[in-house]
Chains A and B, each alone.
Chain A
Amino acid sequence: MSKMTRRTFLQSAAVATLLYGVSPTRSLADGGENDGIGATTGSPSILKGNTFHLTIDRTVVNITGKPAIATTVNGTMPGPTLVWREGEEVTIHVTNRLPVSTSIHWHGIILPPEMDGVPDISFDGIAPGETFTYCFKVKQHGTYWYHSHSGFQEQTGLHGALVILPRNPGDEPFEYDRDYVIALSDWSDEKPESIYRKLKIQSDYYNFNQRTVGDFFHEVAEKGFVEAFKARKMWNEMRMSDRDLSDVTAYTYTFLMNGRTDAQDWHALFRPGEKVRLRFINQSAMTIFDVRIPGLKMRVVAADGNPVQPVDVEEFRIAVAESYDVIVEPEEGSYCLFAQSIDRSGFVGGTLSSRNGVRAKRPPMEKPQSLTMADMGMGGWRSTGGMSHETMKMDHGKMKMDMPHKTPWPVTPLPMRKGVAWTMTAMDPRYRLDDPGVGLRHNGRRVLTYADLRNYRSTADDPKPDREIVLHLTGNMERYIWAINGIKYADAQPLRFHYGERLRITFINDTMMPHPMHLHGMWSDLETGDDTRLVRKHTVLVQPGAKISYRVTVDARGSWAYHCHMLYHMLGMFRKVEVV
C-alpha cells in the first residue's frame, strides 16, 4: 500500500470513526482544524494536507444488486474528498494499478499544463504500475473536483471532490456553520464501451420517453388535425425528436449522491439554526441534474468555485462538471436533497436532517417536458414557435445582448465543414441566459438561470476582448457523431490562442442537446448581461439552439484541452488548444 503521511492517516482514521457514529452534537469534521468539512455515513473519506497518495485500482462494487467492477481511488467510488488550502503547494502521488493507462485531471484548477493530467495533450498518462507525481501551488479556493481523462474511466467511478479552503478563514464572503460536499454521479453496470456502441447503432436506445401515436392524437384533439400536423411538421422534416432530452438514461443508470443510491439515502445532519453549506458537484459522465430541497430556500453563493452575488432560488440545474455552493438554514426536521435527471428518467435523493436515522420523504419525480422551437434555434423560449409579443419584449428589454453588438472586435474565421457531422443549423440562435431550460420552464419555482449570476467582485476593469472566435457545436444524433464546426476531434487542427490576449468565445449550439463546455487551464468569464460582473466559470452549459459568449484571458502557455463534458460527446466534441 502507499505510504500515508501521518496527517492524512490521522484524518482517515477520524473519518472512519465517524462512519459508525455520527452525532449532531459534535462538529462533524473538525480534524483539529476548525474548518467544518463534514463527513457522514457513507461519504467518501476526506484527506487533508499537502501530500496525498492516491492509488487507482479496480474494485468490485455492488450498486444495483449485481457485482460490477468500478475504477476507484484508494478503493472507493467516488474517490476521497481532497482538502487543500489556497496558497500552499500540494504534492499528489498517483499510482496506477490498472492494466491500462490512467490519469487524473484537476477540474477547474489553474495550474501548469504538465500538471493538468490530460493524456496526449499535457502529459503521457500514467502507465500501468507507475506512479506520477502532481505538484503545484494552489492559487484559488472553493469547490472543485477531479476525474480521469483516460478512456471511459470517469464513467466507471474515477472521480472525487476537491475542497480548497481560503488562505485565511473568512476570506470567503459568506458564513456557515457546517459544510457538506454533495457529489452527484451516474453509475451503470454496463461497460461504457457497450453504452457507446449501442448509441452508435441506435442513438435513441436508452430513450423511453419518445413521442407516441397517442401523443399526436392528443394534440389533434386539442388543436385540430391541421394545427397538430403543422406542429409536428418541422420536427418530422428535420428528422429530430422533441423528446431527445438525454442520450443515456436511468434505463441503465443508477444515480448516486456521494456514492449512495436513493435507497441507501446519503444522510447529513445539522442543528436547527445552523447555516449549512452544501457544495453540489455534478461528477456524472452524462447526466444533467435539476436540484431542489423541498421546503428550503437555497442561497447560491458560488458557481464553479467562484463567489457570486448571493441569489436565493428554489431550484437549479447543474450540468455535468459544474459546481454550485448553496447555503441553507433549515429548521428542525428532515429535508430531501432531491436531484432529478433532466429527462426525468430517474433521480437520487438524500436526507438533510436534524435527527439521525430519519429518511426524508421524496417528492414525486416530475414529468419530462418536450423541447420547443427555441431549443431548435428558432426563436425565444417563452413561446413555442415564432416570435410572440412577449418574446419581442424580452429581446428588447432585459436581453440587451440580443441587440446587434456591432462587434467592435474582429472575428477570426475558423475552418468549418458542412456534412455528415452537422445535421441541423440553428436558424435564429439567441442568448437565452434567463431561460432555465427544458424541464424547468414555467414550473412555478424560482429557478436559477445564468442571467441571475453576477460575479462577487467587480469585473469593470477586466480588459475588453481583442478578438472573437465562434464555435458551432454540431452533431448528428442519428449517427451519434459529435463535432465542433462540423469537424470532429480526430480530424481537427488545434485552436490557436495568443498568450496575453483577451479572447471572446461565442458558442452556437446547432444541436438539440445541451453541451457543458469546459476549457482547461484558463477561466471562462461568462457574459450574463452585465459586463461589470462577468461570471467566472470553468464549465458553461450551452443550451440547445442557443448561443452564449464568454471571455478568456489567455494567461497560460502550453497545450490545453477544450471539450464538451458529456463523456460520450467528448470524443468528437473536443479541441486541443495551443497557447502560442
Chain B
Amino acid sequence: MKKLLISTMLAASLFAEMNDDPLRATLLADRLEWQATDGDPVAWDVAAYAGYDIDKIYFYSEGAVQSDETESENELLYSRAVTPFWDLQGGLEMDTAGSERKVWGVLAIQGLAPYFIDTRIRLKISDEAVGVNFDFEYEALLTQRLILTPRIEMEAYSDDVPALGIGSGFSLLAMGLRLRYEFVREFAPYVGVEYLNGFGDTKKVYGMKEDTRFVAGVRFWF
C-alpha cells in the first residue's frame, strides 16, 4: 500500500503534464436563436460539462423567452461513459413555465447512434407524471464548413402536468432544419426553419398551436 501511494505521488509529480485525461470544461450553445413568430421569442439550447473521459457533470438548458414569459428545462446530471459510444446520466431537472416550477428526477442515455445520429433519450419522473423525451440530431456536411443539421425532438407524458401546460400522451413534436457556416469550429451563425406541434390535451386543453417559423442564430462553443 505504501509503495502504491509513493508511486502514485511520483506519477502525479513527474507525469503530471502527461496526464492522458485532464480535467476539462466546455460549453456548447448548440442553438441561440431568434424565431420569427408571435412574440419574437429567443430560444436557446445549451450544454456544458466539466469532467473527464469517463465521468462528467453535465448541465443542460433549453428554453425560450418571449415578452415576459419564459419556458425552460434545466438539468444537472452526473454522466458516465458506459460503452464506447454511450453515456448513462442521472440527476435532476427543473422545468419552468412563467412563474411555475416543476422538479423531476432524470435518467438519460446520450451518445452517437449508428449512422452518426446524435441521440439523447431521457426519462423524467415527478410526483405527477412520468415523461420521455427523444432528441435526435444529424450533421450533414455540404462542405467542410457549411453544415445542414436536421433535428427531431419528441415528448410524451403519462399524465397531465398542468403547471407546464402539458397533457398526457404524445405531447410535442419539434422538427428543425438549420444551415450553419463554421467560420471556425467554435463559431457558426445559422439560419433555419423550425416546425412545432402539440398533440392531445397539450393542444386541446393547454392550447399549444402548430407552427412553422424561420429562425436565425449562432452556434458557438468554448
Contact = CB atoms under 8 A, between A and B. Distances in A.
A489 B11 CA distance: 11
B114 A571 contact: no
A151 interface: yes
Interface of B is mostly: loop
B84 A211 contact: no
Given A120-B10, A124-B14, A237-B115, A211 B141 contact: yes
A236 B141 CA distance: 14
Contacts of B20: 481-482, 488-490, 571-572
B71 to A, nearest CB: 29
B26 A196 contact: no
A446 interface: no
A383 B215 CA distance: 47
Contact of B116 (A150, A239, A572): A239
Interface string B124-149: 00000000000000001111110010
Contacts, number: 90
A482 B84 CA distance: 12
Contacts of B85: 239, 423, 478
A208 B114 CA distance: 22
Given A201-B24, A205-B185, A571 B19 contact: yes
B81 interface: yes
Nearest to A236: B115
A200 B50 CA distance: 12
Given A101-B14, A120-B10, A479-B53, A420 B84 contact: yes
Contacts of B14: 101, 119-120, 124-125
Interface residues of B, number: 34
A212 B148 CA distance: 11
Contact of A196 (B22, B113, B141, B221): B22
Contacts of A152: 17
Contacts of B145: 208
B11 to A, nearest CB: 6
A201 B83 CA distance: 17
B18 interface: yes
A400 to B, nearest CB: 35
B65 interface: no
A500 B155 CA distance: 66
Contacts of A209: 144
A212 B24 CA distance: 30
A197 interface: yes
Interface of A: 100-101, 119-120, 124-125, 150-152, 193, 196-198, 200-202, 205, 208-214, 236-239, 419-423, 476, 478-479, 481-482, 488-490, 570-572
Interface of B: 10-11, 14-22, 24, 26, 53-54, 81-85, 112-116, 140-145, 148, 185, 221
